[in-house]
């Protein structure tokens, strides 16, 4: 096949209608630009919002749920084996909410190859005493260094040094909202009542802000030691183990396995945060829908241009056929024109899309809620560019398909007779 | 007996719109190599229709057609395009040049399509053909910068580029004034006498027809003299 000739004829036809073809190409460029920008921005937004929760959520959380016993004594009794036994108002027995044998579990987990790290945690319900008012809140006892390594704790400490939590005995970092309610500033001492009625005084060494108001209003952090002392429990007392895996997608399987092995409750991140994935999914879907709509509109532009060109060039098509070009050749000529518009428009679209995303990336985005974000988030995922490129080619191909077929079917006799 | 290059056997052609009419009735004749034949007849007698069939562009007919010994009926569209490209040069009443290309490029196009030679050689040949027709100086112009007579000569050069078996013309001088008609006709004669080119030309001008080797006269879709 003589591609050089096809391309040369296509180019001449294209040049003869340069203005219109340029406009058609600009349509493609515009839609691809918007497509890339939209997806990059949405992608950035998605990972930011996901990060807000997911970065600080353990992939698997091990804890001890206080539940009534699964089997009541009557179930075991041989006298009533064949009967249905109804026991109402079952209550859990007095059990401590901590993980038994936590030391051994931590050691086992840390030697597991799939595990990136384990951060132990104590969850303690407390009251913060402000004058005569008690505010309910939570003290999270954490292993400061491990918490920072796995969940970038320091990113959210907006005032004070997170390491003070470890270095200063009896210290606490308060949620910004909580500190505001208590009018407590760094250096102040706050009084806390535990659920068993014991009172303890802790020194405020910083604030943290997670970006989720509900959390910032009730949560606070202290070191494991401080919390254990506050609760009057031994060193081994741990209520939660936060496990971070190398591959987040393994979480459900690993959770199941741990639940069986250690005889504790285990919840994976996917189950705990399914609504976030739905949100990301919907946002991505909308971006794709808008992008594809733009492309389809651009496709109609190309379709129009080609139809017009074919209408104008009937004589030329007839003479090409009369002098030995086959229908297939004519078809190829017009497909080449369509694809040229698509490729050129698409390449510029990808470049402009990259440029526009880069500009958005520079726009300051200051929000109280998101201490780590300084500019609008943008995700430069090459996947968007590949999809955008493929889409531009596919739409232009289909936009060119029908006009080209029409051109290839032109009967030279009809045209020549018509003169 | 000279070699037959084109042979029509019992060709019948009907148009069905608006009512079925037979425009060609049992047309049978043949053209020999180096023959310069003309077709004459009253307007509407079916000359153009016959020529479109002979040039393989119209495939909707009954009967047999042989070009260079090959049966044409039943061939695929792409095969017919190839035969037109290689063996037939066509000159229309209107020049039908492509305004997107220079004169030279217009002449070259069928040669580039055939691609039997390199682009350089085809360009060289195109110049030669333009020289035969006396318009080599216009080679780099755009077709719409030429006069009607010049355009028609470019069209003839284009028809010649692949050294076709036969050149067919449907009133190639029909759109030209007397002087230009004479020039074009002189060219056809020169091609026939000096280059032994086979030609089959439809014309209204009986004085031109008289000067061809052979006159085929049609009436009401039939050949009445040949
Ligand atoms: N597409 C068509 N549908 C129906 N009838 C047609 C069609 N094309 C041509 N005809 C008829 O066929 C007959 C032959 O037409 P044709 O064009 O071959 O005549 P012609 O001999 O070339 O005439 P002229 O010398 O005026 O060019 C005419 O009567 C014409 O009306
Ligand atoms: Mg006619």
Instruction: Choose the CATH number for B35-45+76-225 among 3.20.20.70, 3.30.565.10, 3.10.20.600, 3.40.50.300.
Output: 3.40.50.300
pLDDT tens digit string along B111-165?
998 888 888 999 999 998 898 888 888 888 888 888 888 888 899 899 989 989 9
pTM for the model? 0.74
Ligand 1 centroid to Cα of residue B9, in Å, is 21
Predicted local distance difference test score (pLDDT) of residue B138 = 86
> Within this chain, do residues A113 and A236 fall inside the same structural domain, yes or no?
yes
Instruction: Decide: A327 and A42 in contact? Cβ < 8 Å.
Output: no
Question: Of the candidates A127, A202, A204, A128, which has an alpha carbon nearest to the alpha carbon of residue A170?
Answer: A202
Whether residue A249 is found in the same domain as residue A105: yes
| C-alpha to C-alpha distance for A240 and A232, rounded to whole angstroms | 17
Of B55, B82, B115, the CB nearest to A2: B115
Is residue B1 over pLDDT 60? no
A vs B, Cβ pairs < 8 A, gives 75
- Note the ipTM here: 0.90
Residue count (chain A): 419
- Percent residues over pLDDT 70 in chain A: 97
User: Is residue A315 located within the same domain as residue A398?
Assistant: yes
Residues A251 and A283 in one domain: no
A414 touches chain B (CB under 8 A): no
Q: In terms of domains, do A356 and A373 share one? A: yes
Among A241, A269, A297, which residue terminates a domain?
A269
Domain boundary among A246, A269, A292: A269
Three-state DSSP state, A141? strand
Q: Is A88 helix (H, G, I), strand (E, B) or coil?
A: coil
pLDDT for residue A371: 63
Last residue of a domain, one of A269, A289, A307: A269
Q: Using CA atoms, how far apart are residues B198 and B210, in angstroms rounded to an integer?
A: 17
pLDDT digits (tens, 9 = 90+) for A359-412: 998 888 877 666 667 888 888 989 889 988 898 888 889 888 898 998 888 888
Asked whether residue A1 carries a pLDDT value surpassing 60, the answer given is no
With the most atoms of ligand 1 within 8 angstroms of its CB, the residue from B18, B24, B48, B57 to mutate is B48
A251 and A134 fall within a common domain: yes
Paired tokens of A380: 């430069």
| A227 and A118, same domain (yes or no) | yes
- Does the distance separating the beta carbons of A327 and B77 come in below 8 Å? yes
- The tokens describing B16, both together, are 């069905």
Q: What are the pLDDT digits (tens) for B158-203?
A: 998 998 999 999 888 887 888 888 888 888 898 888 888 999 999 8
Pick from A7, A313, A323, A330 the residue to mutate for testing the B interface (most B CBs within 10 Å). A323
Nearest CA in chain B to A316: B98
**SS3 label, residue A411:** coil
Residues A202 and A261 in one domain: yes
Residues pairing with A61 in the sheet? A242, A267
pLDDT given at position A64 = 84
pLDDT band at residue A282 using 50, 70 and 90 as cut-offs: confident
Residue A102's Cβ-side half-sphere holds a number of Cα atoms within 13 Å equal to: 23
The H or E element containing residue A192 is: strand A189-194
What residue owns the CA closest to ligand 1's atom 20?
B44
Structural domain for A132, as ranges: 58-82+92-269
Mean pLDDT estimate for chain B? 89
* Same domain, residue pair A240 and A300: no
Q: Is the same domain home to A260 and A111?
A: yes
> What is the spatial distance between Cα A248 and Cα A255, in angstroms, rounded to a whole number?
11
Counting the structural domains of chain A, the total is 2
Domain boundaries, chain B: 35-45+76-225
CA end-to-end distance (rounded Å), chain B: 17
Task: Looking at the structure, tell me whether residues A9 and A103 fall in a common domain.
Answer: no
pLDDT band at A94 (very low <50, low <70, confident <90, very high): low
In a domain, A87, yes or no: no
Helix (H), strand (E) at residue B197 = none
CB atoms B100 and A325 under 8 Å: no
Cβ A241 vs Cβ A102: under 8 Å: yes
Q: Which DSSP letter does residue A133 get?
A: E
Q: Ligand 1: which residues within 6 Å by Cβ?
A: A 417; B 15, 17, 23, 41, 43-49
- Short-list A322, A276, A216, CA closest to A49: A276
- Is A116 found in the same domain as A259? yes
Structure tokens at A1: 């096949």
Q: Is A329 on the interface with B (CB under 8 A)?
A: yes
Quick one: closest CA in A to B51, which residue? A413
């Amino acid at each position: 096949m003589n591609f050089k000739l096809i391309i040369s004829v296509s180019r001449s036809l294209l040049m003869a209608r340069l203005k219109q073809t340029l406009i058609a190409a600009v349509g493609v460029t515009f839609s691809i630009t918007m497509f890339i920008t939209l997806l990059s921005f949405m992608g950035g937004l998605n990972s930011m919002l996901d990060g807000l929760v997911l970065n600080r959520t353990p992939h698997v959380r091990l804890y001890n749920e206080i539940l009534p016993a699964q089997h009541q004594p009557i179930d075991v009794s041989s006298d009533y084996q064949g009967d249905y036994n109804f026991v109402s108002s079952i209550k859990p027995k007095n059990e401590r909410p901590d993980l038994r044998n936590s030391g051994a579990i931590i050691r086992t987990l840390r030697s597991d190859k799939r595990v990136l790290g384990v951060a132990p945690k104590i969850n303690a319900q407390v009251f913060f005493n402000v004058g005569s008012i008690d505010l309910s809140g939570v003290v999270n006892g954490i292993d400061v260094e491990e918490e920072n390594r796995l969940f970038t704790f320091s990113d959210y400490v907006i005032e004070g040094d997170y390491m003070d939590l470890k270095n200063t005995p009896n210290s606490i970092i308060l949620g910004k909202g909580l500190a505001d309610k208590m009018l407590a500033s760094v250096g102040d001492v706050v009084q806390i009542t535990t659920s068993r009625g014991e009172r303890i005084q802790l020194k405020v060494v910083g604030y943290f802000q997670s970006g989720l108001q509900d959390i910032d209003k009730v949560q606070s952090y202290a070191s494991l030691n401080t919390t254990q002392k506050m609760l009057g429990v031994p060193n081994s007392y741990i209520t939660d183990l936060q496990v971070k895996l190398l591959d987040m997608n393994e979480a459900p399987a690993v959770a199941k396995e741990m639940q069986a092995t250690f005889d504790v409750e285990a919840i994976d991140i996917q189950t705990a945060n399914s609504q976030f994935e739905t949100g990301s999914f919907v946002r991505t879907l909308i971006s794709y829908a808008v992008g594809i709509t733009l492309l389809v509109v651009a496709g109609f532009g190309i379709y129009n241009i080609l139809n017009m060109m074919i209408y104008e060039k009937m004589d030329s098509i007839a003479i090409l056929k009369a002098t030995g070009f086959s229908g297939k050749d004519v078809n190829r000529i017009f497909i080449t024109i369509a694809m040229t518009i698509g490729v050129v428009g698409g390449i510029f679209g990808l470049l402009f899309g990259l440029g526009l995303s880069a500009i958005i990336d520079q726009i300051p985005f200051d929000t109280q809620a998101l201490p780590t974000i300084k500019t609008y988030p943008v995700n430069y995922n090459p996947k968007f560019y590949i999809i955008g490129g493929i889409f531009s080619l596919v739409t232009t191909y289909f936009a060119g398909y029908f006009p080209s077929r029409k051109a290839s079917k032109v009967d030279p006799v009809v045209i020549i007779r018509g003169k | 007996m000279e070699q037959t290059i084109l042979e029509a056997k019992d060709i019948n052609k009907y148009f069905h719109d608006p009512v079925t009419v037979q425009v060609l009735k049992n047309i049978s004749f043949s053209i020999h190599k180096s023959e310069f034949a003309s077709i004459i007849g009253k307007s509407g007698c079916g000359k153009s229709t016959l020529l479109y069939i002979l040039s393989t562009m119209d495939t909707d007919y009954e009967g047999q057609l042989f070009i260079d010994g090959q049966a044409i009926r039943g061939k695929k569209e792409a095969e017919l395009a190839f035969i037109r490209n290689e063996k037939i040069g066509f000159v229309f009443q209107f020049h039908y040049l492509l305004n997107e290309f220079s004169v030279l490029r217009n002449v070259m196009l069928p040669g580039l399509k055939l691609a039997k030679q390199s682009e350089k050689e085809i360009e060289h040949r195109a110049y030669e053909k333009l020289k035969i027709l006396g318009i080599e100086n216009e080679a780099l112009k755009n077709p719409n910068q030429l006069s009607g007579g010049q355009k028609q000569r470019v069209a003839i050069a284009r028809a010649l580029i692949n050294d076709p078996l036969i050149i067919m013309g449907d009133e190639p001088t029909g759109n030209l004034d007397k002087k230009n008609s004479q020039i074009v006709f002189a060219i056809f004669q020169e091609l026939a006498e000096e280059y032994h080119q086979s030609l089959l030309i439809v014309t209204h001008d009986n004085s031109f027809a008289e000067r061809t080797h052979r006159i085929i006269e049609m009436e009401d879709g039939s050949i009445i003299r040949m």
